[in-house]
Amino acid sequence: MTRRPVDTGAPDRLYTVTGGRSRADDSFDLVTLVVAECGPTAGMQSEHVRILDLCRHPTAVVELAAELALPITVVRILLGDLLATGTITARHPRLGQTAASHPDTALLQEVLHGLRNL
């Protein structure tokens, strides 16, 4: 298991990474799948470059956070930047963020089928 300190003793680093911002784009769920739409360009912030590299294939927000060793909130801020410039697209989960949205039987049947085939 990968277990490493993310922000221990280095709040400055997180401040620098986000340019001092602390408000994240809430539209990114933990399991939103992110896909790069183009490669990194010259002069891009190194964290943005790494995200675009990691997202050559669909990659969940939570996996990005683990790979980048950054807190989820920071990753959401960085993803918001990339989304705004059209360099990534986001595939959001079908189940909404509200408790009211329950999975339907068709979806659950697919999940059961997948689990039984493990």
Partner 1 sequence: MGSATSDPPAAAPPDATAPSGRKPLTDAAETGLKIVVVGGFGVGKTTLVRSVSEIRPLNTEEVMTQAGVGVDETGSVTAKTTTTVAFDFGRISLNDRMVLYLFGAPGQERFWFLWDRLFSGTLGAVVLVDTRRMDDSWYAIDRLEHHRTPFVVAVNRFDDDTARHSLDEIRQALALPDHVPLIDCDARVRTSGKTVLVTLVDHLYQLALAQESAS
Segment 40 to 59, residues that bind partner 1, using CB under 8 A: 46, 49-50, 53-54, 56-59
Binding mask 58-97 for partner 1 (x = CB under 8 A): xxx-xx-xxx-x-xxx-----------------x-xxxxx
Q: Tell me the HSE value of 101 on the side-chain side, using a 13 A CA sphere.
A: 7
Among 25, 29, 44, 45, binds partner 1 (CB under 8 A): 29
Least CB distance to partner 1 at residue 56 (A): 6
Q: Is 4 in the site for partner 1 (CB under 8 A)?
A: yes
Q: Which two tokens stand for residue 28?
A: 């990114």
Cα end-to-end span (Å), the chain: 22
